[in-house]
Structure 1
Amino acid sequence: MIPDMVTPELVVMAAGMGSRFGGLKQLEPVGPDGETVMDYALYDALRAGVKRVVFVIRKDIEAAFREQVGNRYEPWMEVAYAFQELTDLPAGFTVPAERTKPWGTGHAVLAARTAVTAPFLVINADDFYGAEAFRIMTEWLAKPAPTGAFAMVAFRLENTLSEHGSVARGLCEVTPDGHLARVVEHVGLMCNPDGPGAVEELPEGGTRHFSGLEPVSMNFWGFRPDLFPALEARLRDFLANWGQHPKAEYFLPSVVDQMIQDGQAQVSVLNTPDRWFGVTYKEDKALVQQRIRALIDAGAYPASLWNEHAR
């Protein structure tokens, strides 16, 4: 178990869940006792030694989120909240009248600056990452590191594809010593119908083939609080260039990539053989349920997360 003084916290980006919870995929039951994908993520974080979670949400959904989501985890760990609001901008910047879209994942993580008190993991609210990702990241964050030393969990491309359509993935270029060189976005990736690996449909026609073993980023990051000043400084640059564009977003992977290129960050790439699950297409839900059932049958998870914790 990680000592309390260096126990990492978990930041869950959930501001996009909206105010109508009933039909959202983040709250779709996928486990045998009604568990959601997020339930498994927090259970894995708890097993890895995390004792505090910070949900990044919108202020207007706070009451509903606390009642329907946050309160259920209070028996597991300390629960805190941070609020991603359009008006949360550096001095000198204002929200354009036509802007309704959130500012993006980089802005969401910056919103957590008021609530985070230790090194922290960052995940999406609706992704199933597997226990190994949480284990290796909490172990990495428990070690001392210099300013600008971050980490990400990389999944094998073949373990992140949907059987029901194409997906977009950030393929990682990794240096020989295991650090992230850059993330290159690819769209139109799908399972290879003719064998192993993956294929990408190219906009100009034709396809590109991949082995399927390529490392990809699924937005599972490890940071320390020294990230926040850099995030705010780069947000100023983003707003100066793109702030008047109603749909421009301040994406976390893009910010990290820029910091790497500028020599301000070094990102360790931590690899996991686990399969990533997500409901990209509505048909994916049944497959996610089957895979979770198989993990339960293999002893990786209890049949009921809630009954297991109540013991």
Structure 2
Amino acid sequence: MKPTLLILAAGMASRYGSMKQIDGFGPNGETIIDYSIYDAIKAGFGKVVFIIKEEFLEDFKAIFEAKLNGKIETDYVFQNFDLKQFGIQEEIYREKPWGTAHAILSGRNAIKEPFCVINADDYYGLDSFQKMVKFLTTEASDSNYSIVGYKMGKTLSDFGSVSRGVCKTNDAGYLEEITERTQVYKKGDAIVYEENGVEYPLEFDTPVSMNFWGFTPAVFKLTEELFRTFAIENKDKPKAEFFIPLIGENLVKTNTASFKVIPTDSQWFGVTYKEDKPIVQESIDKLIKEGAYPENLWN
């Protein structure tokens, strides 16, 4: 059974200023999602599931249905505020959805096979998809999951600080913990993160999470249990978010599951800021010139 690609595309991109999930970056208006799906098909994925807001459905279908027809199976699931589906009867006010781990739960009825999760607005590179398919088809189990570890120096923006989940691994290459560094940026030839006004150095090769995770469907039940607890504990914090690293942290600490950190040399790029767009376009043009992609992706 081929694994499934689950794409997180329900966010509103507040810093970017528009729906960057369906913004065009390729020479024919291709989105970053297009390149991810193209790589996923090439690597051996059999289905793509989009997690979106229900009001985005027609926009997504208009962009992706015709080009993907006959190439890969597609499905759409909605991230919403309904807590009763998780057995939470209490009314809890929210200003925005509950975050990426909550988004994963939206796919629990659509996915019955090993799957991976990625962000809609991040470019990950073919190498990462190939390594993830290999893991999902040969190593994944209900107690053995994975995360792709990118080199810190290959994930930064030239236009501001970024948040990165720094991965600490054991000697066998398995995750011990993820530490969120919220102010990471280039400083000359160095990379630093800032905490309480103090700068600390980071190595170029430091493995970081870019939200590229590999799971089996067993993670849905585990996540639902964690989410119920999180939602009640944070009912008075309307901006609290239930992130995927919280799943990883809990499963590792409780010895419920391990996470293999899959190293990659792939260059990550994405669009955090509006100013990132021309850089992403240049990066895609360069990849096309190098032969990684055809100029017209789907024809």
Q: Indicate whether the TM-score tops 0.5.
A: yes
Q: Is the Cα–Cα contact under 8 Å of residues 88 and 228 in structure 2 kept in the other structure?
A: no
Work out the CA distance in 2 between the residues paired with 1:201 and 1:233: 34
Question: Which consecutive residues of structure 1, in runs of 5 or more, have no partner in the other structure?
Answer: none
Shift in alpha-carbon separation, 1:190–1:92, aligned structure 2, 3 A:
closer
In structure 1, the partner of 2:209 is 217
Moved more, 86-95 or 28-37: 86-95
Structure 1 residue runs of 4 or more that deviate by more than 6 Å after TM superposition: none
In structure 2, the partner of 1:104 is 99
Shift in alpha-carbon separation, 1:244–1:90, aligned structure 2, 3 A:
farther
In structure 2, the partner of 1:139 is 134
- What SS does structure 2 have at the residue aligned with 1:39? helix
AA aligned to 1:91 is G
AA aligned to 1:86 is F
Residue in structure 1 matching 2:227, options 217, 220, 235 = 235
- What SS does structure 1 have at the residue aligned with 2:247? helix
Work out the CA distance in 2 between the residues paired with 1:142 and 1:63: 33
Q: Is the Cα–Cα contact under 8 Å of residues 155 and 271 in structure 1 kept in the other structure?
A: yes
Work out the CA distance in 2 between the residues paired with 1:244 and 1:23: 29
1:94 aligns with 2:90: yes
CA distances 1:59-93 after superposition (whole Å, capped 9, x unpaired): 23323332234454234211111221110442243
- What SS does structure 1 have at the residue aligned with 2:11? helix
- What SS does structure 2 have at the residue aligned with 1:30? coil
Question: Which consecutive residues of structure 2, in runs of 5 or more, have no partner in the other structure?
Answer: none
AA aligned to 1:54 is V
Matches within 5 A, 1:218-297: 218-297=210-289
Work out the CA distance in 1 between the residues paired with 2:139 and 2:163: 34
Matches within 5 A, 1:11-26: 11-17=6-12, 23-26=18-21
AA aligned to 2:195 is L
Q: Is the Cα–Cα contact under 8 Å of residues 24 and 30 in structure 2 kept in the other structure?
A: yes
Residue in structure 2 matching 1:33, options 28, 41, 52 = 28
Work out the CA distance in 2 between the residues paired with 1:75 and 1:145: 27
CA distances 1:6-34 after superposition (whole Å, capped 9, x unpaired): x101101112259xxx9422222211122
Work out the CA distance in 1 between the residues paired with 2:18 and 2:139: 43
- What SS does structure 2 have at the residue aligned with 1:283? helix
AA aligned to 1:181 is E
Q: Report percent identity of matched pairs.
A: 40
AA aligned to 1:305 is L
Shift in alpha-carbon separation, 1:272–1:144, aligned structure 2, 3 A:
closer
Work out the CA distance in 2 between the residues paired with 1:240 and 1:81: 28
Shift in alpha-carbon separation, 1:246–1:206, aligned structure 2, 3 A:
closer
- What SS does structure 1 have at the residue aligned with 2:134? helix
AA aligned to 2:194 is E
Shift in alpha-carbon separation, 1:106–1:71, aligned structure 2, 3 A:
farther
CA distances 1:123-148 after superposition (whole Å, capped 9, x unpaired): 01110000011000001000154422
Q: Is the Cα–Cα contact under 8 Å of residues 87 and 95 in structure 1 kept in the other structure?
A: no
Work out the CA distance in 2 between the residues paired with 1:206 and 1:86: 38
Q: Is the Cα–Cα contact under 8 Å of residues 87 and 94 in structure 1 kept in the other structure?
A: no
Q: Is the Cα–Cα contact under 8 Å of residues 150 and 210 in structure 2 kept in the other structure?
A: yes
Query: 1:257: Cα distance to partner?
Result: 0.8
Give the TM-score of the pair, scaled to structure 2: 0.93
Q: Is the Cα–Cα contact under 8 Å of residues 140 and 215 in structure 2 kept in the other structure?
A: no
Q: Is the Cα–Cα contact under 8 Å of residues 40 and 126 in structure 2 kept in the other structure?
A: yes
Shift in alpha-carbon separation, 1:50–1:67, aligned structure 2, 3 A:
same
Q: Is the Cα–Cα contact under 8 Å of residues 174 and 180 in structure 1 kept in the other structure?
A: yes
Work out the CA distance in 1 between the residues paired with 2:276 and 2:105: 31
